[in-house]
Amino acid sequence: MAPPSQLLPPTLQILRHRCHLSTVVSPPSKAVLYDEHGAPEQVLRVADAPPVHLGDRDVCVRMLAAPINPSDINRIEGVYPVRPPLPGAVGGSEGVGQVHALGPAVTAPLSPGDWVIPSPPSFDLHRQAPECLAKVRSDVPMEYAATATVNPLTALRMLQEFVKLNPGDAIVQNGATSIVGQCVIQLAKLHGIHTINIIRDRPGSEEAKDKLKQLGADEVFMESQLDMKNVKSLLGALPEPALGFNCVGGNAASLLLKFLRQGGTMVTYGGMSKRPVTVPTSYFIFKDISLRGFWLQRWMNSDKAEDCRTMIDYLLGLVHEGKLKYEMELIPFGEFSLALEKALGKHGSQPKQVMRF
């Protein structure tokens, strides 16, 4: 989580080579670290980060903001398949910072004051190669620059990777109130694609439904509304969806599958219910349904750095134009413990927590 915490005011050092040690050292900074896996509230500690000499080809970055994502929590818990080495791992993986100082031999087109994000997202306590920093526009709210890489990019990529969608087509998703879900609705609408959205039954569902409709959702159903045989009768004039996004599993995945058209594809990118996906064999044989998975990290690691940066620029462009938005709470780093509790769901349903440094 709070990766940014990695660098409390004033700076985070992202260094490449240490061959020529300069006399410039990083300003005092703090990091949220963990030395063993476990419950985040127990294993995380806010610590002073040791000062680092700025090498000729190093870039020193002052972190501005960074979110606490579910995958950060899973890394800290030790249940994520790719994790930073222990001890001394930094909690968190995406965020935005500002270039503070540049070593004299840095060739990347960066200047002090530029906004940069780690691309692919990851924080090392002290250093990261300058080629892993992507410059982003600084005329958007910092919480968007801090969060563009994980959730909005997942939404955009999933809309492109699995099924060729044309204007007028429809998709279906569960977990539609998540940031990915909100982005899917808006990105689909921008391309003329209809969205059918499934949300949980809980206090505030009606309000959540209205919010998603304001973002452009065509239909929003609570799970309890779909406890019927022929859910497709609810589609009205909408076409049967060719593609579905599942981030919940269990019953919510089964409900999604009922909507898919012959030959449709369901992509699983999360498992919030911690329940498996269960599919009658007839769906495979007679409905020709395909089930796939999406993991942003796998895609990013497959030599897609350039595509990735282009897509982040596109997404932040939409944010700048007011065409892409989602709920976040920007919270001072001093209140890290509260933000962590909120991110862990201990205060009920809360918007995405983004630390400000």
Give the residues lining the site for a second copy (CB under 8 A). 81, 246, 249, 267-271, 276-295, 298
Task: Locate 122 and state its tokens.
Answer: 């990851």
Give the gyration radius of the chain's Cα atoms.
Answer: 21
Tell me how far apart the alpha carbons of residues 176 and 143 are, in angstroms, rounded to a whole number.
21
**To the nearest whole angstrom, how small is the minimum distance from the Cβ of residue 248 to a second copy?**
9
Q: Single out the residue of 74, 155, 68 nearest to residue 354, CA to CA.
A: 68
Closer residue to a second copy, CB minimum distance, 262 or 310: 262
**To the nearest whole angstrom, how small is the minimum distance from the Cβ of residue 262 to a second copy?**
9
Closer residue to a second copy, CB minimum distance, 191 or 286: 286
**DSSP state letters, 93-127:** ---EEEEEEE-TT--SS--TT-EEEESS----SS-
Tell me how far apart the alpha carbons of residues 110 and 300 are, in angstroms, rounded to a whole number.
22
Closer residue to a second copy, CB minimum distance, 54 or 171: 171
Closer residue to a second copy, CB minimum distance, 70 or 152: 70
Angle at 59 between CA 58 and CA 62, to 5 degrees: 145
**To the nearest whole angstrom, how small is the minimum distance from the Cβ of residue 117 to a second copy?**
23
**To the nearest whole angstrom, how small is the minimum distance from the Cβ of residue 249 to a second copy?**
5
Closer residue to a second copy, CB minimum distance, 167 or 229: 229
**To the nearest whole angstrom, how small is the minimum distance from the Cβ of residue 90 to a second copy?**
21
**To the nearest whole angstrom, how small is the minimum distance from the Cβ of residue 264 to a second copy?**
11
Closer residue to a second copy, CB minimum distance, 86 or 284: 284
Q: Single out the residue of 275, 282, 276 nearest to residue 258, CA to CA.
A: 282
To which H or E segment does residue 40 belong?
Answer: helix 40-43
CB contact at 8 A, 56 and 103: yes
Closer residue to a second copy, CB minimum distance, 275 or 309: 275
Tell me how far apart the alpha carbons of residues 100 and 115 are, in angstroms, rounded to a whole number.
10
HSE-CB for 356 with a 13 A CA cutoff: 9
Q: Is 46 left (phi over 0), alpha (psi -120 to 50) or beta?
A: beta
Alpha helices in 52-203 (DSSP H): 70-77, 142-147, 151-161, 179-190
Tell me how far apart the alpha carbons of residues 331 and 115 are, in angstroms, rounded to a whole number.
19
Residue with tokens 């779909």: 226
Phi first, then psi, for residue 105 (nearest 5°) are: -100, 10
**To the nearest whole angstrom, how small is the minimum distance from the Cβ of residue 282 to a second copy?**
7
- The answer to whether 80 is a known catalytic residue is yes
Which residues, listed in sequence order, are joined to residue 194 by a DSSP beta bridge?
Answer: 170
Which residues, listed in sequence order, are joined to residue 246 by a DSSP beta bridge?
Answer: 268
Q: Which of 34, 80, 144, 283 is catalytic?
A: 80
List the catalytic residues: 80
